[in-house]
Structure 1
Amino acid sequence: MRYVKFSVMATLMLALMGQASAQVVDASKPMSIAELAVYQGPDRQAKLIEGAKKESGLSVYHVYPALTNIMNEFGKKYNIKVKSWRAGSEAVLQRVTSENRGNKFDVDIVQNNAPENEAAFREKLLQEVKSPYHNDLLPQAVPAHKQWVGITVDIWTAAYNTEKIKKEDLPKSYKDLLDPKWKGQLGIEGNNHAWFGALMGKMGEEEGQKLFANIANTNGISNRKGHSLLTMMVSSGEVPLALTVYSWNPEQLKVKGAPVEGLALQPLMAQPSTIAMLKKAPNPYTALLFYDYMLTEGQKQLHDLKFVPTSKKFELPFPKVPLNFIDPAMALDQQAKWFKMFEDTVIKRSK
């Protein structure tokens, strides 16, 4: 009986040894993009650098203008040629989607808002990546499917002109904007339906819509396109108080001496801005090298540019104010509803 047990155990051991040997042989072969993207070996960095030397460079589609500076620093560090194309979030998503349908695979990395890259995930355009640096990030920056990752947090805040509005006169809540003193003073970014829909969810849809309709009817809300443009209008005094800019917009202008300051009206809504590797990236080693770079050195560079990095090493602005992260999947599923709600409640009443 003991002999039989030993024979069975010996057979199992030999089988396992054979499997291990086969795995060693398989590991020596060139990795597929999927295998490389989830590789966690201690030589990951060295493997990516060596592989990138044999590729043609890095191609990135992006929405952040400032990402160009970081890409240039990456290119200098690794002696890699970088080419990029920048447009709005919808245009970037449309180009990636249409090129894939046309079997054109020229882009390695796409940087976009979380809902747009979530849409690209649903279209099966993206590659799951397991980076050793994921654990350094806010949990909201790493979705379960790991097919995009947050590099910054876009926090919607108000912003005011410090020469036009005294600190003691600032609103403490959205309800304060019903005061007649705000007549002709307010502005909003015209594409913020996700912010508005999620905000209504926190405030209560019926109550929230009624409040914003009353604000628009009573005091008017001017409609502007572009968060950076709206912030510049605040700094010039054309729009004394903007309701929806990104928290980093005023900070970037303050460096240049602009009289503008952010204001955290609650509930404070946020979503990640993300990067993703394309499933058919032509330069996978370089793409992953840049991916890891954006989660390490890139985080410090983003912080220095006044963005809000997703790395837990950096303190969030308004640290005592809770952040309400918008679920990117919900933003997609509710897009039509939220768009109509924002249009009917605010945009059509804008003055």
Structure 2
Amino acid sequence: MKPSPYPRDLREFIVRLEKAGRLHRVAGHGRGLRSKGGPMLSTLLTLFGWLFFLAASLHAQESPIEKLRRLPPKERETRLIEGAKREGEVMWYGNWERDELDQLARSFKKKYPFINVSIFRGGSGKVEDKVVIEYRAGRYLVDILIAGTGKMLPFRERGIIAPYFSPETANMHPALYDKEGWWASLASSPVVIGFNTERLPAQEAPKDWPDLLEPKWKGKIGLDTEPDVMVTGLLQAWGEERTLKFMRALAQNQPQIRNGHTLLVQLLAAGEFPIAAEIYGYRVAQFIAKGAPIRMVYPKPTIFTTSPILMAKHPPHPYAAALLYDSLLSEEGQNVVGMDIGRVSGRKQAKSRNPEFAKLQESDHFLALDPGLVGRRTRDAQRWIKEIFLKR
């Protein structure tokens, strides 16, 4: 018997049509079908056949990791480990500090000693330039990327990343991972207002974003040259009109512009200005632990940075890449983030050097930066910052 040229489900559909008297075979042509319902039914059958062909093609194009997604958790992990042992390595591009990336890599190798972790460390721009050049040349070298909140969308539009659904996201705060699998945040940090306790009593310090607009703070506020987290966060919470109004009013108070968020905290601790807006909470906490005379307040909304983990679209080591992605979000990986590094974990019940920050994620004022919005509005935010704060 000659094999049928049609997929199984399509054959069954054709048989039902024949039994119903709606279809018969052309004499002398076993493969030919003619509709008794006229050209419209013939067209539908052709379309139906192409849909089956397309579905089969898409199934064939599924990555090994996508196919494993349908397996039970234990079997999935076993298959990942088997594949990763054959690969033996994983390539990670990241914009975190080198020692932070190394701490996370050591935690991963402790669990998977058979995988060598190679790391390229650079700023967001360097990571972006490197991977874009490689993908244009058809050189697929990277498995996992961490390149800053605003890079997710450009990478997605360029076809550099692909969705990945880590089972570990089930344990994360819902605002800190993408439901379509495009990203999950390795860590976050609140953006705070800091003040010097030797220059300003706590009861007099500004408590919220609008408080910074009071005339008494004119010339007394330190601000980074790139306060883009504050601007995009307020844009996400308030919309464009209110955000621009706030920025222009803040500029009227003549903030002291400095280049670098860490430098801003150092100068605040030294007493160069009594207040610093838009500084990172984890960095302030580090200075407080060393005895610096500074404190912080949490304005509303309390904007949290996000640090998206991204899966490369063509990872050379897909099994090891999936294990690394899962490991970074696992309890062990997030304890390294929260305790050893001191950033804020997005995983529920993870240990934290700053439990106060973790509690903020459960407050009504918590706002996690949306990488999609940041990607769409970063250029607008940078233009506004330049026009409003830097051209004075």
Q: TM-score range by the shorter chain?
A: 0.7 to 0.9
RMSD: 2.7
- 1:53 is paired with a residue whose SS is helix
CA deviation string 1:191-221 (max 9, x = no partner):
2335314415644644543444343333x21
Match of residue 72 from structure 1: 106
How far the C-alpha of 1:180 sits from its partner, in A, is 4.9
Which amino acid is the alignment partner of residue 338 of structure 1? Answer: A
- 2:347 is paired with a residue whose SS is coil
Please give the alpha-carbon distance, in whole angstroms, between the structure 2 residues aligned to 1:33 and 1:123: 22
TM-score normalised by L of structure 2: 0.73
- 2:176 counterpart (138, 141, 145): 141
- Determine if contact 2:103/2:336 at 8 Å carries over to the other structure: no
1:334 aligns with 2:377: yes
Structure 1, unmatched stretches of 5+, are 1-10, 13-30
- 2:284 is paired with a residue whose SS is helix
Which amino acid is the alignment partner of residue 119 of structure 1? Answer: P
Which amino acid is the alignment partner of residue 307 of structure 1? Answer: R
Which amino acid is the alignment partner of residue 152 of structure 2? Answer: N
Match of residue 299 from structure 2: 265
Match of residue 156 from structure 2: 121
Please give the alpha-carbon distance, in whole angstroms, between the structure 1 residues aligned to 2:280 and 2:272: 18
How far the C-alpha of 1:248 sits from its partner, in A, is 1.5
Please give the alpha-carbon distance, in whole angstroms, between the structure 1 residues aligned to 2:107 and 2:324: 11
Larger Rg: 2
Match of residue 288 from structure 1: 322
Match of residue 89 from structure 2: 57
Superposed counterparts of 1:22-41, under 5 Å: 32-35=63-66, 38-41=69-72
Please give the alpha-carbon distance, in whole angstroms, between the structure 2 residues aligned to 1:48 and 1:229: 43
- Determine if contact 1:173/1:266 at 8 Å carries over to the other structure: yes
Please give the alpha-carbon distance, in whole angstroms, between the structure 2 residues aligned to 1:141 and 1:308: 11
- 1:106 is paired with a residue whose SS is coil
TM-score normalised by L of structure 1: 0.81
Please give the alpha-carbon distance, in whole angstroms, between the structure 2 residues aligned to 1:128 and 1:89: 20
Q: Give the count of matched residue pairs.
A: 321
1:313 aligns with 2:349: yes
Match of residue 248 from structure 1: 282
Q: 1:151 to 1:217 in 2, by over 3 A?
A: same
How far the C-alpha of 1:293 sits from its partner, in A, is 0.8
Q: 1:73 to 1:204 in 2, by over 3 A?
A: closer
- 1:167 counterpart (202, 209, 225): 202
- Determine if contact 2:176/2:368 at 8 Å carries over to the other structure: no
Q: 1:261 to 1:47 in 2, by over 3 A?
A: farther
- 1:334 is paired with a residue whose SS is helix
Structure with larger RCO (C-alpha < 8 A, sep 6+): 1
CA deviation string 1:268-313 (max 9, x = no partner):
2234211112121122221111111111111111110321111122
- 1:346 is paired with a residue whose SS is helix
CA deviation string 1:222-276 (max 9, x = no partner):
2233333322332333343221122222123333333333221222223421111
Please give the alpha-carbon distance, in whole angstroms, between the structure 1 residues aligned to 2:117 and 2:255: 42
Give the percent of matched residue pairs that are identical in Structure 1 and Structure 2: 28
